[in-house]
Amino acid sequence: MESTSRYHDGLRDLTLEELNVKPNEKDWSIGQVVDHIITTNSAYYPVFDDVLNGQGSQSFIAKVPGMHKFLGNLIYKSVLDTNPKKIKTAPVFEPAKSEIESDLWDRFDQMQEKMQSYVQSFSPGQLDIIISSPASPLVVYKVSRALDIICVHEKRHLNQALNLRESLLAK
């Protein structure tokens, strides 16, 4: 995946200490940003496994005409890098609260490989299956939109981490 190399090129050379530096008490460290991506994307594994086994969302909201499109577009626009608003993450997507361990990049690479495997495994018909977000059964969208959301979300946080790196190195 393109984002894998962009994360590696921009951040992999940081020491464990640098990955764990927080700009302030409330903001995430670079390591937590990467951990958040791992946590978020990994939360989709059971959802994607269900799709590969022929099952989509069981939520009543998935049956409301057009709701998956509305909610999918809403989530997609909220995580676009061009959206200047900070978004509170759902508890299921929170990064580690403690210091990031040295296995961060191994976990990141394994997650990216698994996500790539899902993308290659989905049939065209499966991309149209409506799923529930790992954050809430009431948030539904198509698998294809989930993949779009994952990609732009990764890009948003890559830019966040790169900006944080730049500000930390400037000190």
Query: How is residue 139 annotated by DSSP?
Result: E
What residue numbers bound the domain in which 149 lies?
2-169
In this prediction, residues 52-70 reach a mean pLDDT of 94
Contact 50, 125 (CB under 8 A): no
Query: Which residues, in sequence order, are CB contacts of 123 under 8 Å at separation 6+?
Result: none
Beta bridge partners of 31: none
Tell me the residue length of the chain.
171
Give the span between the Cα atoms of 127 and 8, in whole angstroms: 28
Predicted confidence band of residue 2 (pLDDT cuts 50, 70, 90): low
In this prediction, residues 69-91 reach a mean pLDDT of 91
- The mean pLDDT of the chain is 93
Q: Is 131 helix (H, G, I), strand (E, B) or coil?
A: strand
108-125 per-position pLDDT tens digit: 999 999 999 999 999 999
Read off the amino acid at residue 158: L
Q: How many domains does the chain have?
A: 1
Angle at 67 between CA 121 and CA 90, to 5 degrees: 70
Closest by alpha carbon to 47, among 129, 160, 170, 167?
Answer: 129
- The reported pLDDT for the residue numbered 79 is 94
Predicted confidence band of residue 99 (pLDDT cuts 50, 70, 90): confident
15-22: Cβ within 8 A, 24+ apart: 16/100, 16/101, 16/102, 18/165, 18/168, 19/100, 19/104, 20/99, 20/100, 21/168
- The reported pLDDT for the residue numbered 147 is 98
Predicted confidence band of residue 81 (pLDDT cuts 50, 70, 90): confident
Cβ count within 10 A of residue 72: 22
- The reported pLDDT for the residue numbered 1 is 60
Q: Any idea what the CATH number is for the domain that residue 18 is in? A: 1.20.120.450
Read off the amino acid at residue 71: L
